[in-house]
Amino acid sequence: MSDRTPAPVARQAPAPPPALNRSRTLWLLSFLTGLTAVVFAFLGREEHLEVIAEQVRELAPDRAASTVDTASDVVLVATMAAIVLVVVVESLLVRRMAARRGGARAGLAVMLLAHALVALVAEAYLTVPGGDGLRDRVVLVAWVALAALAYLVSLAPSVGRWLRER
């Protein structure tokens, strides 16, 4: 062989910066916290259904008991499903960011707003009034706080440089 040109070898992608690894860890903790909120809501569903049914009766006192029970079930399941949906979409966006795809951080910013709104709705329906609902409130606040902190860490300049490198 007389050609001295080296064989084409794909360049290795640079290692992700430590800030991105910290951000991914915080996102993972946020996902686990959100799923913990769903588990707590499921385990305390009888108590939550009573509170939701009371709220439904206040809004529509002339409704039949079966209608109130059905509406309570729908509200509880929809609230838990909304939390799961936020976790799934955010996890897909974090995966996209780790794969150096464009637009993931912008998508996470939008999802962070949806995240906060879902947490407010969940606080209204998945916590009981008073001190008995403190555990559920703490889990929901931690869910939002971890996601916000993870997003802020993902905005580090080193992450931005890593995402732009080719």
What was the pLDDT predicted at 92? Answer: 96
Tell me the per-residue pLDDT of 7-64, one tens digit each, with 9 for 90 and over: 788 778 788 899 999 999 999 999 999 999 999 999 988 888 888 888 888 888 888 8
The two tokens of residue 65 are 């008991």
- pTM score over 0.85: yes
Quickly state the pLDDT bin for 1 (edges 50, 70, 90): low
pLDDT at 4 over 90: no
Quick one: how many helices (H) and strands (E) in the chain?
Answer: 6, 0
The two tokens of residue 156 are 């580090």
Q: Taken in order 95, 100, 102, 105, is the CA torsion positive or negative?
A: positive
Tell me the per-residue pLDDT of 110-146, one tens digit each, with 9 for 90 and over: 999 999 999 999 999 888 888 878 999 999 999 999 9
pLDDT at 65 over 70: yes
DSSP state at residue 63: S
pLDDT at 165 over 80: yes
More confidently predicted of 137 and 166: 137
Mean predicted confidence (pLDDT) in 100-104: 85
For residue 118, the tally of other CB atoms under 10 A from its CB is: 22
Longest dimension (CA), the chain: 92
The two tokens of residue 33 are 């916290």
Q: Taken in order 125, 131, 132, 138, is the CA torsion positive or negative?
A: positive
Quickly state the pLDDT bin for 150 (edges 50, 70, 90): very high
